[in-house]
Homo-oligomer: A and B are copies of this chain.
Amino acid sequence: MVTIKDVAKEAGVSIATVSYVLNNNPRIKKETREKVLKAVKKLNYVASGIARSLKKAKTNIIIVFVSNFAGPIYQEILETIHVKLKERNYRMIVSNGDLAESFLLERQSDGAIVLDPNIPLDLLIKAENKNYPIVDTTKMINQNNIIDLHINSFDPAYEVIKLAIKENYQKIGFMHGNQKSLDNKLRYEGYLKALKEHNLEPFCLLNGNFTETSGYDAIKQYIIDGNELPEVLFCSNDEMAVGAMDYLKKRDIEIGKDIKVIGFDNIELSRYYRPSLTTIDINRSEWSASIADTIINMIEGKKVKPYITKSRIIRRDTF
């Protein structure tokens, strides 16, 4: 490894001078400056980010935790956050939540964005106690150093079920995703509230885990057990809806007629699937941008603006 010392020796100056040159400090006069730069180039020197981070107590890195890299949802979110952070001179890295412990507590980053619901609360609290800024989207906790920016799933879920009721459906089912997930919880609560307002009872409650196969399996079991189909099935995300529809089609149940299906998220597949899936779209790019802004503002001690996600119902063939 070539270090700042090597450069100093090569250029015949002190290491301080090298550092000043590299940081564009005007106190170094042109000729020395050029001498140093020549040495830098000759030796192919690049300063160690680690040493710099140690000294400055700042990494300019923000870490994003995702639960898996496979969610179609994450894709655009990450892309947006990345661009935003870069604009403001931060570097984004993405990691799996099971590495959260080391990254959150060891100060290898200036802040974290939590998209992975599996990161334990006490870990976040520990980090928060160390003055480490976090934007969390999975838990609805607000603390000094933890800002909550979860998706507002409750309202659109409520709205879409209201709509179904208005169109005279009464037997309305709900398919759970991961029940520990906040998103699932809010969607379920929105569903319940709409039913309650019209004195309806949940007609059919299924359990999935947000994956396609879990949706397939859940409805399959329900049907095999001889239960009556709901008129409308509201699934906690699109992927499960797709899985469920796969099975319904296999049984020659006509979707959109024999049963209505509603998803959540508006993933790309929901548009392509046949029949195309009615779902709820969240303005994810705006949301992502807000996440990025918020974490930076926290880090830099600036004021953070609250934000609530916007959504709309996308009506397609299945409802």
Residues of A within 8 A of B (CB): 1-2, 44, 46-51, 53-54, 57, 59, 63, 68-70, 72, 74-76, 78-79, 82, 86, 91-96, 98-99, 102-103, 105-108, 126, 129-130, 242, 268-269, 272-274
Q: Report B-chain residues with C-beta under 8 Å of the C-beta of A47.
A: 106
Across the interface, do B69 and A82 meet the contact criterion of CB distance under 8 Å? yes
A242 CB to nearest chain B CB (Å): 8
Q: Report B-chain residues with C-beta under 8 Å of the C-beta of A98.
A: 86
Across the interface, do B75 and A79 meet the contact criterion of CB distance under 8 Å? no
> In the bound complex, how far is the Cα of B75 from the Cα of A105, in angstroms?
27
Across the interface, do A106 and B44 meet the contact criterion of CB distance under 8 Å? no
Q: A102-B49, A106-B47, A107-B50 are in contact. Are A93 and B130 (CB under 8 A)?
A: no
Q: Report B-chain residues with C-beta under 8 Å of the C-beta of A44.
A: 126, 129-130
Across the interface, do B102 and A91 meet the contact criterion of CB distance under 8 Å? yes
Q: Report B-chain residues with C-beta under 8 Å of the C-beta of A76.
A: 69-70
Q: Report B-chain residues with C-beta under 8 Å of the C-beta of A274.
A: 274
Across the interface, do A50 and B53 meet the contact criterion of CB distance under 8 Å? yes
> In the bound complex, how far is the Cα of B195 from the Cα of A276, in angstroms?
39
A41 CB to nearest chain B CB (Å): 11
Q: Report B-chain residues with C-beta under 8 Å of the C-beta of A75.
A: 68-70
Q: Report B-chain residues with C-beta under 8 Å of the C-beta of A106.
A: 46-50
Q: A70-B79, A79-B68, A98-B86 are in contact. Are A93 and B63 (CB under 8 A)?
A: yes
Across the interface, do B102 and A95 meet the contact criterion of CB distance under 8 Å? no
> In the bound complex, how far is the Cα of B49 from the Cα of A88, in angstroms?
25
> In the bound complex, how far is the Cα of B46 from the Cα of A105, in angstroms?
6
> In the bound complex, how far is the Cα of B97 from the Cα of A86, in angstroms?
12
Across the interface, do B94 and A57 meet the contact criterion of CB distance under 8 Å? no
> In the bound complex, how far is the Cα of B103 from the Cα of A49, in angstroms?
8
Interface centre among A63, A129, A269 (most CB of B within 10 A): A269
Q: Report B-chain residues with C-beta under 8 Å of the C-beta of A102.
A: 49, 91
